[in-house]
Structure 1
Amino acid sequence: MEMFKNILIIRFSSIGDIVLTSPLLRILRKSFPDSNIDFLIRKEYSELVKFNPNVNNIIEFDTLEGLRGLYNIANQIKSKRYDLVLDLHNNWRSNYIKYFSKAKFYTINKRVLKRFFLIKFKIDLFKEYISVVDKYIETIKFLNVKNDNNGLDLFYPDNLSVNFHQKFKDLALENYNLLIGVAPSAKHYTKIWPAQKYIELLSNILQQFNAFVFMFGSKNEADYINMITKAVIEHTNKNSILNMAGKLSLLETAAVLDRCNLMITNDTGLMHIAAARKRKVVAIFGSTVRQFGFFPHGTENIVVENNNLKCRPCTHIGRNRCPEKHFKCMQDITVDKVFNAFKNILNIK
């Protein structure tokens, strides 16, 4: 096997894409236990790899620094004289960095042409669902290594577990039979199952089960999620639901998810965090499809989706509006369908 002493991984964003790099990092560390493995990442996502024992150093890119910041990072990387660069992003920034590095490099094959044919002409050239995890691992196929099928990793310090007990001790969570995580929002509109459906689903769950629900999301999503939370409380007259949107870091979210029996989520980054912590996942897919490689990886899951539409998929990342103006990919997914998926994954008759 060819030896590499100094390795750089490039993946700037976003949450899910970065979490999905963890099997590659694990395989690289096993193949090169004494090598230096660095990770180039956008500053706001660096906590996702900060405690990963398979990473030696994190190089943070601050987008606020613009081209000058990118130029400075390129000089820094050139000075480190990497033997191998793995470009898992394949955009103009990563191309600039890897060419500037003067190192041997390999780049992810995103299947852009197949993706284009599926979105534009609804011609499916994908022979199977290939996870982004395996697309990342393809960059080191010259090493004759394979996916170890041990799922995703996401590491956080022990003190977050202690903080969990301190923060939520007044909730008496030990009195509930089920702890459920819910991520009801997303960056793009066409990835969001409607709020009213979440309200009905969570009301049904709280009325029929002795359950407590944690609502997760970003600071920008806090008001939207708070609206859902308040509506569920009003419908059920129960306070066993708590909006944590914007109040937790990504690793704190992972620590709370560790106490949950399952996660109900749209196709979003928190879905991958739940999978990395080996939680059961019920994922609701709208405008996106599993052929793109983004689905709950390495954990028990049920993907709920509408496969009866000729217009789907209309995008690989999500849209801010439905181009057909009917939004049937989400509107036609009934509360009963998701509720049944919830019961099935928990083996509830």
Structure 2
Amino acid sequence: MSHVSPRLLVAQTGFLGDVVLTTPLLTTLHRHLSPSSLTVLTTPQAKPLLDCHPVVNQVLVDAKHTEGQGVLGLWRMAQRLRRERFTLAVAPHKSFRTALLLLLAGIPRRIGFRQSPGWFLYHQTASRDSYRHEVERILCIMRAFGLEPEDCDRQPLVAYGHEAKNKADALLREARLDGTEPLFVVCPGSVWATKRWTVDGFAELIQKLTRDYGRVLLCGGPDDAPVAQMVHERSGQCGINLVGRADLPTFMALVDRAQLVISNDSAPMHVAVARNVPVVAIFCATTPSLGYGPYSERAIIVEKKDLFCRPCDRHGSPTCPRGTDDCMRQVSVADVLAGVKTLLANTRTKPMPVPFFVPE
């Protein structure tokens, strides 16, 4: 690698959780390469996760599922990247489309994974270790620069600015929360139905958290609204339903106020880890052995371990293949509360969240 500081592009257009788990790579690349600029290419949904990241100079959006889809959309995106005159591209995202896009963009040095369907379009490839956590699997790409995952920065980090902090403050004032009561963030949603714990389970959990521990903020994106509304109603409206009202940066700011986060195996779990907030993660159809568990020592995983059918798919399934929903139904409220109690006992004082950053 030349000592000349590269104009670096990192391409990660996966799910929200994938983007959070890529942030240690960003920190490592910044430290190891000292790029003249570091740009991330990601999805419109994930852009807010990176807008205030301290090592990211620019976030570009690839709307690959809408106006950017198809051959014409790919070509337009490639021309947009070409105008940036990047000298180095690193692609932790393994898709063939990503490899082809970087080739069409004319970036003179491109690095990707050997396991990518487009491996032959890269100048250099690195091998991913399938047995590792996804954070470390992504960091395997640093082998192209002579580093092993153990040599890298491995703490996920997402950040937000003053506007998000002010929005979070406004939502809490509206809910008549003055900061004196302990807060718990509960996230009942997931893109995949079999990764969602039951509505009744979340409802009972919220009732008991409210009775015994503090106030509950029900959080999630607009797509989570139907499930969240059912949870809210069945809990007797014990919690404060903010689902669909807090964008990603505002959600980060709310997470910073919380004693801990309780989430399915989904993006909020990873955001909590990236904000250094304890998390109780409920795994239903998926398992931590797939490599996507909370990458934190301040996390507890609750799951039904003795079901032979788990995991039924890498992402879970739209419906239970066996028609029983056992992996969801057999996770008890008592087990989740035990995780809450353990984390609270091990965290005598609320941890200081990592700082938030404001872009210049």
TM category (shorter chain) comes to 0.7 to 0.9
SS of 1:173's partner is coil
Q: For residues 335 and 298 of structure 1, do their structure 2 counterparts lie closer, same or farther at Cα, with a shift above 3 Å needed? A: closer
Is the 1:108–1:136 contact (alpha carbons within 8 Å) kept by the matching residues of 2?
Answer: no
Is the 1:278–1:299 contact (alpha carbons within 8 Å) kept by the matching residues of 2?
Answer: no
SS of 1:44's partner is coil
More helix by share: 1
Is the 1:160–1:252 contact (alpha carbons within 8 Å) kept by the matching residues of 2?
Answer: yes
Query: Residues of 2 paired with 1:230 and 1:109: CA distance?
Result: 49
Q: Any idea what the Cα deviations from partners look like across 1:21-65, whole Å, max 9, x if unmatched?
A: 111111111123342221111223211111112122222112322
How many equivalent residue pairs? Answer: 329
Query: Residues of 2 paired with 1:142 and 1:151: CA distance?
Result: 20
2:94 pairs, out of 90, 93, 97, with 90
1:221 pairs, out of 214, 221, 224, with 224
Q: For residues 73 and 50 of structure 1, do their structure 2 counterparts lie closer, same or farther at Cα, with a shift above 3 Å needed? A: same
Displacement, 1:303?
0.7
Aligned to 2:353: none
Q: For residues 320 and 340 of structure 1, do their structure 2 counterparts lie closer, same or farther at Cα, with a shift above 3 Å needed? A: same
Is the 2:16–2:45 contact (alpha carbons within 8 Å) kept by the matching residues of 1?
Answer: no
Query: Residues of 2 paired with 1:70 and 1:304: CA distance?
Result: 41
Comparing 198-207 and 248-257, the one that deviates more: 198-207
Displacement, 1:212?
0.6
Q: Any idea what the Cα deviations from partners look like across 1:266-297, whole Å, max 9, x if unmatched?
A: 00011111111111000000111222221112
Q: Once superposed, what is the RMSD of the aligned Cα atoms?
A: 2.4
Aligned to 1:104: 109
Query: Residues of 2 paired with 1:185 and 1:31: CA distance?
Result: 37
Query: Residues of 2 paired with 1:176 and 1:213: CA distance?
Result: 13
- Counterpart amino acid of residue 93 in structure 2: H
- Counterpart amino acid of residue 27 in structure 1: T
Question: Once the two structures are aligned, what percentage of the paired residues are identical?
Answer: 24
Q: Does 1:200 align with 2:204?
A: yes
Unaligned 5+ segments in structure 2 are: 118-128, 347-360
Displacement, 1:337?
0.9
Question: After superposition, where does 1:1-349 map in structure 2 within 5 Å?
Answer: 2-3=2-3, 5-62=6-63, 63-65=65-67, 66-67=69-70, 68-100=72-104, 101-108=106-113, 128=131, 130-145=132-147, 146=149, 147-149=151-153, 151-174=155-178, 176-209=180-213, 211-233=214-236, 239=238, 241-298=239-296, 300-347=298-345
User: TM-score, length-normalised on structure 2?
Assistant: 0.84
User: TM-score, length-normalised on structure 1?
Assistant: 0.87
Q: For residues 38 and 76 of structure 1, do their structure 2 counterparts lie closer, same or farther at Cα, with a shift above 3 Å needed? A: same
Displacement, 1:109?
6.0
Displacement, 1:105?
2.3
Q: For residues 8 and 262 of structure 1, do their structure 2 counterparts lie closer, same or farther at Cα, with a shift above 3 Å needed? A: same
